[in-house]
Amino acid sequence: MGVRIASHFVTVGTRRVHYTRAGSGPALALFHPSPCSARRMSLQQEAFASHFTTFAFDTPGFGLSDRLDLAQPELGDFADAFAETLTALGIHRCAVYGNHTGAAIAVEFAARHPERCAMALADGYPAYSGGTAEDRLKRYLEPLVPKWDGSHMVWLWYRYREQHVFWPWHDHDLAHRADTDVPNADFLHQGVLDLLEAGDDYRIGYAAAFRGRGLSLLPELRAPVCFALRPGDSLYRTKPAYAGTSAWFVETPRDARAAAEIEREILLRHPGDVPPPAPACAPLAGRATTDFVDAAGARLFVRSHDAQAGSGVPLLCLHEMPGASALHADLLATLGATRRALSIDLPGHGESDPARPDATWTDHAATLAAALDVLGLARVDLLVCGTAAPLGAELIRAIPGRVRRAVFDAPLVLDAAARAAFAAVPPPAAIPEMDGTHVLRVWHHLRDQELWRPWHDRRRVNARRIAPRIDPAALTLRAREMLKHPRSYAPDWSAAHGWDPATGLNGLADLPILVTAMPDALHAECLDAAAAALPHACLIRPEGDGLAGHAARIAAFLDA
């Protein structure tokens, strides 16, 4: 049986920090390389969890962790921030392991906080010369700028792939060829997602490593620090820099798993404290609380607003499918100002576990029902967004009496002819491919849906007469969330567009329902069809007063 790696959040002052936890025994912190996230450390976390309680952190500004509130943080700032995180977790002293940028943070932590560092193991430490560091700062960190045509998505793919072909990635000659295999498409895909998660701010944390002190800090070290280099790693070329120094230096095998076994034995020489259980994630004023719950055998991401002055029945938002709660964050925050409002990423969406390939609307409804039980929500109101209409109807039937009121916000309701038109041209597959074309296909699938209906029939007669939501930055966010579970994208899109509302909306006549939409919603054209399918529902047509007005109408219906 594999190692169970669980995701958590912890509140550190005014920051939210995401980490994964696995194993038991003394505490061991893992820091990932830039521009990645804690997911990059899964191999090491699995290898070390047999002897340690491992904590793999998204460093500030990467993954799901908030960035530091500094314009130009240095490695010392990241090390100090980690010390604060340890305190929030109730851990006084631990061992630390880092790779590349993570190695630089680990060593800086050992130098600045020796009383809290049992030992540090730096795997691929950035021991750059001054000239090399200056070159990296000038040429390595190109801006990430969303483009209307999605070309930045393809650039990201090849930019991340290129650092496994050349080192540094921008020097394309024989002398800089990488001594390693190019990773598979799934590995590259995750790297691109990590870059998209950090956005252009990826350069902030990355640059700190290039400005680091390198081996000049050796005389300051008071905690044990082991520097490990592995053939095939890009920083193996820094091996000559260790000659003649006092560094504790080891060379590990080329195979990453074999290297991790040796590194685990080194880390066992200086174990830290055994940590307490994971603390709850404390709320932050004016912000959503993000956390995870276990329900129906899945780890589910929950985004919630718990209004201090709010009252009444909590509101559960069902995100678009495919989609994620992040795509409805603004509406959820607005509604959550006066009531408890939450959204749960379903399996195969957002930050939750992957879904079973054969998962149905009934299965998803059962998962949500189990999550409501875990969260102690005996009764809820529902906000059903767009393509989640089939799930909303299924959930209402699955938990009779527990849904008080429901809002169907721009629901996708298609007649037989429209369903056939969409079925005639299946959506593009989002499954990662080595040439990266899947990211461009998803980008233009999302964009073309805003421009034509059906999306694939690009004649002027099918041009949508609604303001298209094609701002490149906003579309990048949507594409990022859709690509987090690429194997769910096409099946879920097809299932939503093939759903028959004539049978799917049966049995809802006794429930107070509002049907409404924003004027620019993707399925605003379906409003009349939705009203016809739910003849007892209250219909409010789109008005041009923005998100605030839309939220106010929803709140008024729920408060009635």
Residue 544 pLDDT level (bands cut at 50, 70, 90) = confident
538 three-class SS: strand
How is domain 289-559 classified at the architecture level of CATH? 3-Layer(aba) Sandwich (3.40)
pLDDT digits (tens, 9 = 90+) for 444-485: 999 999 999 999 999 999 999 999 999 999 999 999 999 999
Output the six-digit token pair for 439.
């990211």
329 three-class SS: helix
pLDDT digits (tens, 9 = 90+) for 54-81: 999 999 999 999 999 999 999 999 999 9
pLDDT at 286 over 90: no
What pLDDT, on a 0 to 100 scale, did the predictor assign at position 12?
Answer: 97
Left if phi > 0, otherwise alpha if psi is -120 to 50, otherwise beta: which for 300?
A: beta
pLDDT digits (tens, 9 = 90+) for 427-443: 999 999 999 999 999 99
Rounded Cα distance between 336 and 113, Å, is 40
Structural domain boundaries of the chain?
6-140+201-267, 289-559
Output the six-digit token pair for 306.
């718990």
pLDDT digits (tens, 9 = 90+) for 336-370: 998 999 999 999 999 999 999 999 999 999 999 99
Displacement of CA 254 from its chain's centroid (Å): 30
pTM over 0.85: yes
**Two domains, one topology: 6-140+201-267 and 289-559:** yes
Q: What are phi and psi of 480, to 5 degrees?
A: -60, -45
Torsion over CA: 442, 443, 446, 450 (sign): negative
What pLDDT, on a 0 to 100 scale, did the predictor assign at position 3?
Answer: 87
pLDDT at 136 over 90: no
Region 241-253: what's the mean pLDDT? 95
Q: What is the mean pLDDT of the chain?
A: 95
Sheet-wide strand order for 315-318:
289-295, 298-306, 340-344, 315-318, 380-385, 403-409, 513-516, 538-539
What pLDDT, on a 0 to 100 scale, did the predictor assign at position 311?
Answer: 63
6-140+201-267 topology per CATH:
Rossmann fold (3.40.50)
pLDDT at 127 over 80: yes
**Residues facing residue 19 across a β-bridge:** 8, 57
What pLDDT, on a 0 to 100 scale, did the predictor assign at position 151?
Answer: 97
Pairing of strands 225-229, 248-251: parallel
